[in-house]
Amino acid sequence: MLINERDTRRERLMQVANDMMTAARTAPKGKGYDIVEVALVTDETIGQLSKAMLEYSEKTGMKFITRDAENILNAEAIVLVGTKQKIHNLNCGYCGFDTCAKKNEFSEVPCAINSVDVGIALGSACSVAADRRVDSRVMFSVGRVAQELGLLPGCSSIYGIPISCSSKSPFFDRVSKTPPVK
């Protein structure tokens, strides 16, 4: 029997994506609360996400999102990692407020512990991709638009990790094919 690597690439990449989700789920949490959410975007949903990113770029004027929207079309999967908001009542001041009660008056300000939890989960997921020699890149833009689309309901501070298994990383030397709007 002869099995060509190209014939099993997707299957292998999906296993890596599943392992990345496991790593994000089991990553240490700042106070032990399980408020991290993880999901996988594939196939036509990547195209829908890319289209929404183009619209978001146009609406906000954030031109790098256009480049990222084009770039994720080269991904075979995207791991999303986000956090639900929870005030931990530590009064640590890391969010910029003296107490959690004062921070709570401005509910749109994320708890710093939640943000750290997302960062640790992202690092854990990316370490799996690196260990398995799968190309990846953490993208704020993907997560921001995923939040707009409600792909991780109730979550904020969402990031996307597109992954690919090709001869050259599509997430390096990235150039937009769309000319800048003047």
φ, ψ dihedrals at 75, nearest 5°: -85, 145
Give residue limits of the domains in the chain.
24-164
Residue 151 tokens, joined: 């792909």
pTM: 0.90
Question: Nearest 5°: CA angle at 154, between 153 and 156?
Answer: 105
Which of helix, strand or coil describes residue 106?
coil
DSSP conformational letter for 6 = H
Name beta bridge partners: 77: 42, 163
Ordered per-residue pLDDT tens for the chain, 182 residues: 999 988 989 999 999 999 999 999 999 988 888 899 999 999 999 999 999 999 999 999 999 999 999 999 999 999 999 999 888 888 888 888 888 888 777 667 888 889 999 999 999 999 999 999 999 999 999 999 999 999 999 998 999 999 999 877 877 776 667 665 55
Q: Which fold has domain 24-164?
A: NADH Oxidase (3.40.109)
Gyration radius of the chain's alpha carbons: 18
